[in-house]
């Protein structure tokens, strides 16, 4: 049973703080294991990758890279309705992300200086796709489509082949995203291969995509050698709901994230104590028939919470402290409550907008900040696959107007060579 908190209770502040500080991430001890894997792949390349494939995935592939025929055969094995759903998702995700493309700028100011910026794509990106307790074709589209929109020239996909098997729909999604370079390698070793390169896998400039604790730790350790999207923690959802909702709908929404992983967290905030009871009973009923009940049940028992508040504005304030990955505002006028929300990865407005819709088909990206990082970061977007370079062009007249002040600041910092570089271009200056 999830913990129950009441915002007006005397011990609420301490109980809420304890919930916030509860550790959900994997033990840091795995760091040494990951460091060893990274070192082995960096030193031994493909040889290490084949060894890890046999040890962790139970497979000894003849080749790490999937051939075009294998990818085409996988697509042919998919149900037509599943392929049609992928097509719709790909179209909507592509359309949404095209609207994120930023504009270049170049203008001339009042002193005659021309300045601005331009955006250019990253050359190569590696996409990690999980293949363990669950497989996510949707993640292929969510990670690859914004990269394609940004103009990334090379998108590489890595995914584990557990017992030699890769979800055919994952490969079908890759085809729709224009990915033709796919490798059957997973775990921290896949991250190492993308970061450092091997004989079979050329290194990339940035690594994106979700994974287990080993993958997350590997991404953290290779950051700096390559860019990464984020170090993602367990999934989380906060639902703010009033008593006018169907409790079964809200229970389904809470379990939609709980079934990801036993470390996931689902929280309900409501201003109705009786409604909270109804949702809790609905969760129990749904768990009894859920295929991933063991995972979802552990998540709900260990990390789930129901918080009863006397006013939904209090719920908004508490939400800002949590900064949830996913936030549902299942209320009559969600836009009113939205005005009080400052920190959330993705926000779902109204009773008919379940978070799961955003996971697949709606268009916004489902790769989002977790573990309170929505306080300072955003979900994956086209901007994650672009770099911004600033531009500056000075005429002689503009340099003469701006130069003296720049020299003053350089000399104040004791950087005489800086001052000399500017002074050399100015008339009647000692340099």
Task: Summarize pLDDT for 25-50 with one digit per residue, the tens.
Answer: 656 678 899 999 999 999 999 999 99
Which pLDDT tens digit goes with each residue over 195-246? 999 999 999 999 999 888 899 999 999 999 999 998 888 899 999 999 999 9
Instruction: Compute the average pLDDT of residues 116-130.
Output: 97
Alpha carbons 43 and 408: distance in angstroms, whole number: 51
Sequence-distant (6+) residues with CB within 8 A of 91 are none
- Radius of gyration (Cα) for the chain, nearest Å? 26
CB-count burial class (<10 Å; 0-12, 13-18, 19+) for 392: exposed
Sequence-distant (6+) residues with CB within 8 A of 410 are 416, 418, 419, 422
What's residue 132's pLDDT?
Answer: 58
Confidence band (pLDDT; 50, 70, 90) for 163? confident
Q: Is 331 left (phi over 0), alpha (psi -120 to 50) or beta?
A: beta
Instruction: Compute the average pLDDT of residues 175-191.
Output: 95
Which pLDDT tens digit goes with each residue over 338-357? 999 999 999 999 999 999 99
Residues in the chain: 431
Contact 182/72 with Cβ under 8 angstroms?
A: no
Alpha carbons 249 and 331: distance in angstroms, whole number: 13
Alpha carbons 228 and 128: distance in angstroms, whole number: 11
What's residue 300's pLDDT?
Answer: 96
Instruction: Compute the average pLDDT of residues 380-398.
Output: 97
Alpha carbons 326 and 76: distance in angstroms, whole number: 34
Statement: residue 327 has pLDDT above 60: yes
Sequence-distant (6+) residues with CB within 8 A of 244 are 331, 332, 351
What's residue 133's pLDDT?
Answer: 53
Cα separations in angstroms, 129 against 17, 160, 190, 288? 34, 8, 10, 30
Beta strands 386-393; 114-121: pairing state: antiparallel
From 7, 25, 12, 17, select the one nearest 265 (Cα to Cα): 25
Which one is the CATH code of 233-376: 3.40.50.280, 3.40.50.1980, 3.90.1300.10, 3.40.50.261? Answer: 3.40.50.1980
Statement: residue 147 has pLDDT above 70: yes
Where b means 16+ CB within 10 Å and e means fewer, 244-277 reads: ebebebbbbbbbbbbbbbbbbbbbbbbbbeebbe
Which of 99-103, 121-125, 258-262 has the weakest average pLDDT? 258-262
Q: Token pair 């409501």 is at which residue?
A: 270
Domain 30-104+122-228: which topology?
Rossmann fold (3.40.50)
Confidence band (pLDDT; 50, 70, 90) for 62? confident
Alpha carbons 296 and 291: distance in angstroms, whole number: 9
Instruction: Compute the average pLDDT of residues 130-154.
Output: 89
Q: What are the extents of the domains in the chain?
A: 30-104+122-228, 233-376, 394-423
What's residue 162's pLDDT?
Answer: 85
Sequence-distant (6+) residues with CB within 8 A of 409 are none
Instruction: Compute the average pLDDT of residues 363-387.
Output: 95
- Check for a shared fold between 30-104+122-228 and 233-376: yes
Per-chain mean pLDDT for the chain: 94
From 317, 130, 324, select the one nearest 209 (Cα to Cα): 130
Which pLDDT tens digit goes with each residue over 303-322? 999 999 999 999 999 999 99
- Catalytic machinery residues: 325-326
Copy the structure tokens of residue 344: 């959330």
Alpha carbons 154 and 383: distance in angstroms, whole number: 17
Which pLDDT tens digit goes with each residue over 405-426? 999 999 999 999 999 999 999 9
């Amino acid at each position: 049973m999830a913990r129950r908190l009441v915002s007006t209770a005397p011990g609420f502040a301490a109980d809420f703080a304890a919930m916030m500080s509860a550790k959900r991430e994997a033990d840091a001890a795995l760091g040494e294991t990951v460091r060893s894997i990274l070192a082995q792949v960096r030193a031994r390349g493909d040889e290490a990758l084949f060894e890890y494939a046999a040890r962790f995935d139970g497979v000894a592939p003849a080749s790490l890279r999937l051939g075009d025929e294998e990818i085409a055969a996988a697509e042919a094995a998919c149900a037509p309705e599943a392929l049609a759903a992928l097509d719709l998702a790909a179209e909507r995700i592509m359309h949404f992300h095209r609207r994120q493309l930023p504009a270049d700028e170049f203008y001339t100011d009042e002193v005659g200086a021309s300045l601005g910026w331009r955006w250019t794509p990253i050359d190569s990106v590696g996409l990690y796709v999980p293949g363990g307790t669950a497989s996510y074709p949707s993640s292929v589209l969510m990670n690859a489509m914004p990269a394609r929109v940004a103009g990334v020239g090379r998108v590489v996909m890595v995914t584990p082949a557990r017992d030699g098997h890769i979800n055919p729909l994952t490969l079908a999604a890759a085809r729709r995203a224009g990915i033709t370079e796919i490798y059957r390698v997973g775990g921290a070793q896949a991250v190492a291969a993308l970061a450092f390169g091997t004989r079979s896998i050329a290194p990339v400039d940035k690594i994106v995509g979700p994974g287990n604790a080993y993958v997350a730790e590997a991404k953290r350790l290779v950051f700096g050698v390559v860019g990464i999207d984020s170090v993602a923690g367990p999934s989380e959802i906060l639902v703010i709901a009033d008593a006018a909702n169907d409790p079964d709908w809200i229970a389904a929404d809470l379990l939609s994230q709980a079934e990801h992983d036993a470390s996931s967290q689902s929280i309900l905030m409501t201003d109705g104590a009786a409604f909270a009871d109804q949702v809790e009973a609905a969760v129990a009923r749904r768990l009894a028939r859920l295929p991933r009940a063991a995972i979802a049940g552990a998540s709900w028992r260990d990390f789930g919470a129901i918080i009863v508040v006397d006013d939904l504005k209090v719920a908004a304030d508490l939400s800002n402290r949590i900064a949830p990955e996913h936030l549902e505002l299942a209320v009559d006028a969600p836009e009113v409550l939205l005005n009080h929300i400052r920190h959330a990865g993705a926000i779902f407005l109204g009773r008919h907008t379940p978070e799961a819709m955003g996971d697949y088909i709606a268009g916004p990206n489902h790769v989002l900040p977790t573990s309170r990082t929505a306080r300072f970061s955003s979900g994956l977007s086209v901007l994650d696959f672009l770099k911004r370079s600033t531009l500056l062009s000075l005429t002689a007249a503009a340099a003469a107007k701006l130069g003296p002040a720049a020299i003053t600041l350089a000399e104040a910092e004791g950087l005489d060579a800086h001052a000399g570089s500017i002074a050399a271009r100015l008339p009647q200056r000692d340099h």
